Structure 1
């Protein structure tokens, strides 16, 4: 486009054509043309001049003006003038006024015309990029259809509505290939504004891609009657989705599967044969985990809510099915539910329980000097430590089948004696190790923890304060503290550092000045 030879009305027509082809506003194209003419004007009259160009939006008439601004103190002699000088030209002028001097039309040379064209192309491209970003910035999370424009090093450039998007190699399904001209459907994962223009990143491996595919294929999901609560994918291999129905008359699993599997097969076909398990979602974590491990059968579930773990017991012959090939089934179930899942066979769980029973029984036999029958009764009632027996309500002990008040009192007395003896032993050991009383006085500290600290060389308040919470958790006996408690204890130990810093300021006014030599 050579604006040097454009008739006036044709200039407007050119702006209309460019605006329509590029999908940007006509006014933005005309502004780009004005900036190009201004640049050509500065090339002719000098780069320091304030040259302004306007194009009449109706006739296409170009007007060129040199502007001079009225200022109090001149910083640029070319484009500024003092108020005194301005008054000689027009007494009505004041500070901030702009004097406009009409200039004759520019006779564009070849170089000037080419420069103007480059400016227009650059500005139009900038407007086009901004329009693309504004159009797509709020569309992350949608599925979009496009055509493959080119494939470079496995990365696919996709032509979408008036824009280009990139589908990186690691966002393609395994063994999936595309060629130029292929139609493609993908999920808009991210839209970012970068110096080279807006970057639209697509994905076919994102879990939300599967959710959106089901939304397109299952009307009940689209209408909100059925909700997909969670998605877990091993892209190209297997996936699990958890669904719930807000209409008791509609089976969420059946609706997503469709007549003879038509709906789920449409999604499977789009994902290159990725197997999909559709399971009912449940508010109860145990039920949800059992459903998520399908098709394996579960015999028993034990929750540890504090640790976010769940222990699942399955029949011996179901172990390989529950774990899945290369751990895939249990991994996807864990991703889907948000729980760390430990799987045991019934035999492993039985052996572990027997070992726990034996260890606890031996502890009670040794500490309380009792026979294995009484120790077994205590373990069966759920007692796990001598401390629990020492401080439990006496009536709870007496209520154990085979016990009476005398036996309960004797057991508790022996437990208290053992606890006191153990505390005294640990206290003596703590002093031998040189752990200071200041450390012992930290709230939440136990004798066993003090000995463990001393054996690791943590003996003073400063030693303890220097620890990080994860270091403390590694030193103390297992399950003694959680991270929040460890952090609180360390911060309590560090309090004296701040007290020491404030002390000079607090006493400075009363301190006598040091004698000078």
Structure 2
């Protein structure tokens, strides 16, 4: 566009065409033209002057003027004037007033016209980028259709409405290829404003892509009658989705499968044959995990909520099915449910229980000087340590079949004496190792823990304060400290590094750590 030869009305028409073609506001195009004319004006009259251009929005007339601001003290002689000088021009002027001096129309030369054109192109591009970002910002999580514009090194550039997006090769399904002109459907994973302009990143491997595909294919999901609670994918191979219905008359699994599998097959076709297991969701973790491991059958489930783990026992012949090829089935089930899943066969679980029974029985026999029958009865009642026996009420022990009050009292006395002896032994060992009383005064570690700390070089508050939370948990793996509790213990050990007049910080840290971990006393 050559502003030098563009008639006035045609200038307005050009602005209309550019605005329509680029999808930006007409006013923004006219502002870009005014800035281009201003730049050309500064080139002619000097860059220090405050040159302003205005295009009449109706007629296309261009007015050019030089502006001078009235000030108390002049700092820029090209753009400012003193109040005294301004009064000579117009007595009504005050500080802050702006004097407009009309300038004759610019006779654009070739260089000035080219400069103006570059400014307009640059401004229009900036407005276009701003419009693209505003249009797609906040649309992450949607599915969008586009056309492949080009493919470079496996990365696909997709032309979408009034913008371009990038589908990186690591966001494509395995063995999936596209050519220029192919239609494509993808998930908007991220929209970022970068120096080179807004960048829209697409994905066909994101778990939410599958959720949105079902939302498009299953009306009940779109209407919110059926909710997809979680999605786990091994892109291009297999996936699991957990669904729940808020209408008791609608089967969520059947609705997602569709008549003769029509709905799920539409999603499978879009994902290049990815197999999809549709799982009924349950608020009960054990039931949910059992459902997620389908098609394998589960015999028994044991939850460990503190560790976020779940132990699943399956028949021996179901082990390979439960684990899946290269662990795929159990891995997807874990992703779907949010639980770490350990799978055992019935034989493995039986062997482990026998070994635990034997170890506990031997422990009781050695510690309490009892025979294997009494030890077996204690293990069968669920006692796992001598400490539990030492702090159990005599009446509760006497209720065990085959026990009476005398036996119960003797067992508890022997258990208590053993625990005290072990405590003294650990305390002596702790002193030999040089573990200071400051660690004991934290009242968070058992004597056995203090010995373990000393054997690992942690003997003072400073030593404890120098640890990271994962190091403390590694030294004391059986203490039951989670990351937050470990951090609070370490911060309590560091408290003396800072000014703390009343010691409140130390006590608060230790109390909070003790409440969270609450480890069982051990010998």
Shorter-normalised TM range: over 0.9
Q: What is the TM-score when the length of structure 1 is the normalising length?
A: 0.95
Task: Quote the offset at 1:491 in angstroms.
Answer: 2.9
**How many residue pairs are counted as aligned between the two chains?**
503
Task: State whether structure 2 residue 263 is matched by structure 1 residue 243.
Answer: no
Is contact 1:24–1:131 with CA below 8 Å preserved after alignment?
A: yes
1:131 matched to 2:96: no
Per-residue deviation, 1:435 = 1.8
Secondary structure (helix, strand or coil) at the match of 1:4 reads helix
Give distance in 2, aligned partners of 1:40 and 1:376: 99
Look up the SS of the partner of 1:294 in the other structure: coil
Sort the Cα spacing of 1:315 and 1:100 in 2 relative to 1 into closer, same or farther, 3 A. Answer: same
The equivalent of 1:471 in structure 2 is 471
CA distance in 2, matches of 1:357, 1:195: 66
Residues 391-438 of structure 1, C-alpha deviations (whole Å, 9 max, x = no match): 101111111111111111111111111111111111221222222222
Cα distance in 2 for partners of 1:45, 1:499 equals 66
| Residue aligning to 2:226 | 226
Cα distance in structure 1, aligned partners of 2:112 and 2:177: 47
How far 1:470 sits from its partner (Å)? 2.3
Change (3 A) 1:16 1:301: same
**Structure 1 counterpart of 2:307:** 307
Q: Distance in 1 between matches of 2:176 and 2:249?
A: 40
User: d(CA) in 1 for partners of 2:490 and 2:18?
Assistant: 67
The 5-angstrom pairing of residues 9-158 of structure 1 reads 9-158=9-158
* Rounded Cα–Cα distance in structure 1 between residues aligned with 2:24 and 2:497: 63
Name the CA distance, whole Å, in 2 between partners of 1:64 and 1:489.
72
Q: Does 1:294 align with 2:294?
A: yes
Match of 1:209 in 2: 209
TM-score (norm 2): 0.94
Spell out the pairing of 1:485-496 with structure 2 (5 A cutoff).
Answer: 485-496=485-496
Distance 1:138-1:465 versus aligned 2 partners, 3 A rule: closer
Pair 371,179 (structure 1): closer, same or farther in 2 beyond 3 Å: same
2:419 matches 1:419: yes
1:192 aligns with 2:192: yes
- Compute the RMSD of aligned alpha carbons: 1.5
In the alignment, the residues of structure 2 paired with residue 347 and residue 487 of structure 1 have an alpha-carbon distance, to the nearest angstrom, of: 40
Q: Which residue of 2 aligns with 1:512?
A: none
Q: Is the 8 A contact 1:232 1:240 kept in 2?
A: yes
Name the counterpart of 2:382.
382
Question: Counterpart in 1 of 2:510?
Answer: none
Partner of 1:168: 168
Take 2:241 and 2:328, find their aligned partners in 1: how far apart are those partners? 14
Structure 1 contact 74–81 (Cα < 8 Å) conserved: yes
Do the aligned partners of residues 222 and 496 (structure 1) sit closer, same or farther apart at CA in structure 2, a change above 3 Å counting?
same
**2:94 match: secondary structure:** coil
Counterparts of 2:152 and 2:254 in 1: how far apart (Å)? 42
Q: State the shift of 1:231 in Å.
A: 0.3
Aligned residues of 1:452 and 1:477 also touching (Cα < 8 A): no
Q: Gaps (5+ residues) in structure 1?
A: 504-517
Corresponding position of 2:512? none
1:378-399: CA deviation from partner (whole Å, max 9, x where unpaired): 0010000000001101111111
Q: Whole-Å Cα distance in 1 between the matches of residues 90 and 236 of structure 2?
A: 78
Deviation at 1:446, TM superposition (A): 1.1
Tell me by how many angstroms 1:78 deviates: 1.2
Displacement of 1:84: 1.0
Q: Which residue of 2 aligns with 1:515?
A: none
The answer to whether 1:358 aligns with 2:329 is no
Contact preservation (8 Å) 1:256, 1:263: yes
